Each structure stands twice: as structure tokens, then as C-alpha cells.
Amino acid sequence: MREPTKADAKEVLDRLEKAHPDARIYLEFDSPMELLVATILAAQCTDETVNRVTPQLWKAFPTVEALAKGDRARLEEVIRATGFFRRKAERLQNVCRAIVEEFGGKVPDSVEELTRLPGIGRKSANMVLADAMGQQAVAVDTHVKRVSRRIGLAREKDPDKIERELCGIIPEERWTRATHLLGTHGRRVCAARKPDCEHCPVGELCEYYRGQGFC
């Protein structure tokens, strides 16, 4: 299998743009803090469930300070539907305390500072930077990982390494859009268990479809 090129990435993204012009992030938020919290809740949970829970969460704990100091049992009950609610409640409060104590209650605006927060990795950091702060970033979630590897744009298995691979062949001005396009394609067409290869707009470009690739 040959190494992917910038031309390969451009062709894939151009086709996905035509197929999914409405591609976007699927978590709902109104601020960097709301998106950061949503990414924590989204672990092993659907975006739809998170979007139902977050309005209740912010009604119960309307500020980062309230969330940091709030009653743990009450917090667990509010986010119970997202699964692993005890672990997530602990992480939410640890992150909020760090934001209050180290950053004056404001979400930091660099990947280096965001990943200093307890339990926040590059995926969540890049999502916040890209979608809530307007910076260009590639956020490698499960959909982006699966689609980029199947097509052949990435070889690695580790999400952080996949991020570097994609950033190396995708122009910086398209990093955020690439995340949305690859992620939406994974949700709508290139599903984990049964990809709809017959109706895929990048089929002839895809190593998986040609029998050369891997999931």
C-alpha cells in the first residue's frame, strides 16, 4: 500500500464535501465550557443523549464554579443517562476545579493548556479549539479514526498519531472541516459494522473497498 498524498486527501475531502455539505459537529453548546463538558459526557455515549442531558446539567449547575463545588450526588443523578456517571462526575468536577484555580474560570485556548486539565486528551482539546474557539484543528474521534484508516489516509492506530498523519496531508485551513466531513461520513455511510460501500462517494478511492485496507 502506497503512502497517502496531499492530492489523495484533497480528492477525498472534495467528494465528501459534495456528499455531506451539512457536515458539522453534533454536540450542542453555546460556549467553550459547554463544549468541553459535553466532550467529557460523550465518552461511550451518543451525542443525542448528551444533548438531552446538558441543558439539565447547566440548569442545575449554571456556572463552572457551581459545577466545581456542586453536590456530587446531585451531579451524578443529573448525568446518569450518559453512563459511567460516577467516573464522569468526578472528572467534570476535577476539570472545573482546575479551570477555576489555574485559569481564572476561563477555558484555556491552546492544546497544551487544555491537555493539562485532568482527563482531557487531544481529541477533546481540539474539538474545543476548532468548534468553540474558531481555530483550525483535527479532532480524531472514533468516526474520524475509522474512516481515515479505511480509506487509507492514515496508517496508525493511535488517535494522536492519526492526527499528525492527517495534519501532514490536509491543508491547515481545512483541518476543522475535514474533521466534520470524515466524522459525518462515518455516521451516515461508513458505519463500524456494516459500511454502505455501494453508495459511498469515495468508494474507488478507498483501500477498504478495494480489498487492500483494514478496519
Report d(CA 177, CA 25) in Å as an integer: 10
Q: How far from the centroid of its chain's Cα atoms is residue 159's Cα?
A: 11
What is the average per-residue pLDDT within 121-147? 98
Q: Is the pLDDT of residue 215 over 60?
A: no
Average pLDDT over every residue of 111-116: 98
- What fold is seen in the domain 6-23+138-205? Endonuclease Iii, domain 2 (1.10.1670)
Mean pLDDT to the nearest integer, 4-25: 98
CA angle 89, 176, 145 (to 5 degrees): 70
pLDDT above 90 coverage of the chain, percent: 96
- CATH top-level class for 32-132? mainly alpha
What pLDDT sits at residue 184?
A: 98
For residues 178-207, average pLDDT = 96
Q: pLDDT tens digits, residue range 85-106?
A: 999 999 999 999 999 999 999 9
Q: What integer pLDDT is reported at residue 212 of this predicted model?
A: 52
Q: CB count, 10 Å around CB of 127? A: 26
14 has catalytic annotation: no
Binned at pLDDT 50, 70 and 90, residue 214 comes out as: very low
Q: Provide the pLDDT for residue 116.
A: 97
Provide the mean pLDDT of the chain.
96
Question: Position 95: which residue type?
Answer: V
**Looking at residue 79, what DSSP letter applies?**
T
CB atoms closer than 10 angstroms to residue 48: 11
Q: Per-residue confidence at 213, pLDDT binned at 50, 70, 90?
A: very low
The answer to whether 151 touches 208, Cβ cutoff 8 Å, is: yes
Inform me whether the pLDDT recorded for 1 exceeds 90: no
Q: Where in the chain is the domain with CATH 1.10.1670.10?
A: 6-23+138-205
Q: In the chain, which residues fall in CATH 1.10.340.30?
A: 32-132
Q: Which of 123, 160, 194, 196 is catalytic?
A: 123
What's this model's pTM, rounded to 2 decimal places? 0.94
Catalytic residue, chosen from 88, 131, 141, 145, is 141
The pLDDT of residue 48: 98
Question: Within 10 A of 11 (CB to CB), how many other CB atoms are there?
Answer: 13
The per-residue pLDDT for range 28-74, each reduced to its tens digit, is 999 999 999 999 999 999 999 999 999 999 999 999 999 999 999 99
Taking Cα atoms as reference points, which of 17, 18, 35 lies closest to residue 26?
A: 35
pLDDT exceeds cutoff 50 at 19: yes
Rg of the chain in Å (alpha carbons): 18
CA distances in angstroms from 127 to 101, 110, 200, 214, listed in the order given: 23, 11, 26, 26
Residue corresponding to grid cell 498519531: 161
> Does the pLDDT value for residue 198 go beyond 60?
yes
6 is catalytic: no
